[in-house]
Amino acid sequence: RATDCFLGSWFGPGMSNGQVWFSQAVPQGPTTINVSLMNLNSLAGGYHVHILPIKPGSVDPCSNANILGHFNPLAWNISNSPAPGAGTVDQYEIGDISGKFGMLTGLDQSEAVYMDPDMPLTGPYSIVGRSIVVHRTNGSSIGNSTRIGYKNSGQKMASIVADIQASPP
């Protein structure tokens, strides 16, 4: 049975918006990542799956204290990773989307489809139930999902949604 995950509409600085979809045709198969981010105003840098989902109602839901760091269950040493977009997907943390496929730096929009055999939607290393953060190029933070409002944390540009949910059977 195919597995699909959908991240709700993303709203960042000003008119920034977009969506990200994850799908697997079969469990254990590669994950298709469909990214559609617009009006980034050249403010975005990297984007990653983080360990925990966003906690609705917290003062700063996108802070490292609330969502912890990048999803890295295999404890990959990031100093061994090539430059963003220069290696193979197995050379980065499981949740490092921009490491695997390239940064958003300098872009106003990103419309892309990626295949990642190392970003599962099922099993012990699944990204389901976690969050995604889009970082600014300078490390500061603004914006997030339409579903959750939060105070500017100064570290992240946006979180795409509270958590990643598998579609119902």
Q: What is the pLDDT along the chain (169 residues), one digit of tens a residue?
A: 445 455 544 444 456 677 778 888 887 889 889 888 888 888 888 888 888 877 766 666 667 777 888 899 999 999 999 999 999 999 999 999 999 999 999 999 999 999 999 998 888 998 887 888 787 776 644 333 322 222 233 334 333 332 333 343 3
Residue that is written with structure tokens 């050249």 in the block? 42
Q: Which of 144, 150, 153 has the alpha carbon at shortest distance from 16?
A: 144
d(CA 119, CA 24): 10
Distance from the Cα of residue 48 to its chain's centroid: 4
pLDDT value, residue 144? 34
Measured at the CA of 155, the angle between CA 153 and CA 159, to 5 degrees, comes to 80
Domains, the chain, with CATH or none: 3-166 (2.60.40.200)
pLDDT value, residue 57? 66
d(CA 114, CA 137): 22
pLDDT tens digits along 64-77: 777 888 899 999 99
